[in-house]
A and B are shown apart, each in its own frame.
Chain A
Amino acid sequence: MRSTSPSRRFALQGLGALALAPSSVWPAVGGLPSATHDAWSPEWQQLSERLFPGRQLVAGQGTVQLIAPLRAAYGASVPVKVVSKLPQRPELHVRKLYLVVDKNPSPLAAVLDLSTEVGQADFETRLRVDEYSHVRVVSELSNGELHTDARYVKTSGGCTAPPNRDALHLIGRTQVKVAGELRMNEPTAADVTVVHPNDTGFELNQVTVMYIPPHFVRSINVSFAQRKVFDAELDFSVSENPTLRFNFVPHGRGELRAEVTDSKDAHFVGTLAIG
């Protein structure tokens, strides 16, 4: 089982602190119309310099596209979809995907480290969005290029919404399933879902009036037939019961396996026999 490196944890903490720093210079964005895909924000200016120092980011939807609603039903569960415009080939492929919510207390929601075994680097998940904010994806290609796309999402309270406490006894139950038709040697959609409150640390227990300590899924590593498909490092900006829809290329019989670690170092495993 792989664990989060101390340096990455440090980086995440640093980014969280950065986002929490007071920003009195900029007016609230609330009320502005939907931003264009390459919209800038002061938070992103700082975040991008920390995450990708000295590197150029190409904005646009030619290589990667982020699909998210302008308004979602609930801020604690905003559906986002990443669509990659190039197939995963050894000569050029998506190496990493970064999901960022500019104004969240911890803006770096997920970092996905991909292999060519995903076939097609499309992902879907649900994120917490705490206030009116840009949601972004950065796609890092194997040649080092960085491409980015963003959507402006109008919602609030995503990190402080009362959590769903209906299934505490099921925490860690990890389900892997094929999402559509199983196609050999072609990208096939699959879902991994972990039953987990993904507590942010900003939610108030309505009975005790105490804050619920953070407790969230930190990583999901998915393999097929013992070959890495992707490793995801996650944060509490991912909604409760974290779900990732991804692709993998089944070359024959094998086990689709998801290994999960949470912030209390609990480990969970979900598997699905393919073929």
Chain B
Amino acid sequence: MTKWRALALLLGLCTSALAAMAGVPAPYAPTVTLPTGTPQRFEFDLTTALRRARREHKRLYVYLGADDCAYCRKYEAFLQRNAMELAPHFAKDYLVVDLRSSLSVQADRLYIRVGEKALPYADFQRSIGDERARLLVYPSVWLLDANAKPLMQMPAGTGTFETVPEQLEILRLEQ
């Protein structure tokens, strides 16, 4: 094995390790949801999570991240850094659902399923009255009640709630 091949292998392993680390940190007890139907489409099923939310009288904090997305890592690192302070606030009212996607998956290939109906991203957004139908941004967060109804209009991206007070604003549904 040449040293360049070894280096490439090492880089690949590092990338895989980083990808494996991607996602909402463990202290938030996320329900990791992997897509089905790949690679033609990335379909995420919220049905089970919604059923559980109804049973436990909780809301859903749905996080859509991508394994190769720097802004996702930034938000996840923020969550990790502040887990001691934030995780109890999440746990009080929310079930965290972690949808694992990839930057190459754009709106036409991303599907959200609720019960019998699976809709492509823009149609799903329109169906729940979310204004972010025009553009899919990674990462994205939805705050949903147990019937998949948005609790408030969320911004594209997570850049406006990457401080503890702002994350708490979001959890408190301050508008």
> Given A156-B159, A156-B160, do A74 and B132 touch, yes or no (CB 8 Å)?
yes
Residues from chain A with a CB closer than 8 A to the CB of B131 are: 72-74, 77
Does the CB pair B130–A73 fall under 8 Å?
A: yes
Bound CA–CA A70/B161 (angstroms): 11
In the complex, whether A41 has a CB less than 8 A from a CB of chain B is no
Q: Give B residues with C-beta under 8 Å from A.
A: 130-132, 134-135, 153-156, 159-161, 163, 165-166, 169, 174-175
> Given A31-B163, A155-B160, do A70 and B130 touch, yes or no (CB 8 Å)?
no
Residues from chain A with a CB closer than 8 A to the CB of B163 are: 30-31
Size category of the binding interface on chain A: 10 to 19
What's the dominant secondary structure at chain B's contact region? loop
**What 9 A-B pairs are tightest by C-beta distance, nearest first?**
A73-B131, A71-B155, A31-B163, A154-B160, A73-B132, A70-B175, A71-B160, A74-B156, A69-B175
Does the CB pair A31–B132 fall under 8 Å?
A: no
Bound CA–CA A74/B174 (angstroms): 17
In the complex, whether A27 has a CB less than 8 A from a CB of chain B is no
> Given A69-B153, A155-B160, A156-B159, do A74 and B135 touch, yes or no (CB 8 Å)?
yes
- A-B contacts, 19 listed (Cβ < 8 Å): A33-B165, A69-B153, A70-B169, A70-B175, A71-B154, A71-B155, A71-B161, A72-B153, A72-B155, A73-B130, A73-B131, A74-B131, A74-B134, A74-B156, A77-B131, A155-B155, A155-B160, A156-B159, A164-B134
Does the CB pair B154–A31 fall under 8 Å?
A: no
In the complex, whether A205 has a CB less than 8 A from a CB of chain B is no
Does the CB pair A34–B159 fall under 8 Å?
A: no
Residues from chain A with a CB closer than 8 A to the CB of B160 are: 71, 132, 154-156
Residues from chain B with a CB closer than 8 A to the CB of A156 are: 159-160
Residues from chain A with a CB closer than 8 A to the CB of B153 are: 69, 71-73
Residues from chain A with a CB closer than 8 A to the CB of B165 are: 31, 33
A14 to chain B, nearest CB (A): 30
A180 to chain B, nearest CB (A): 19
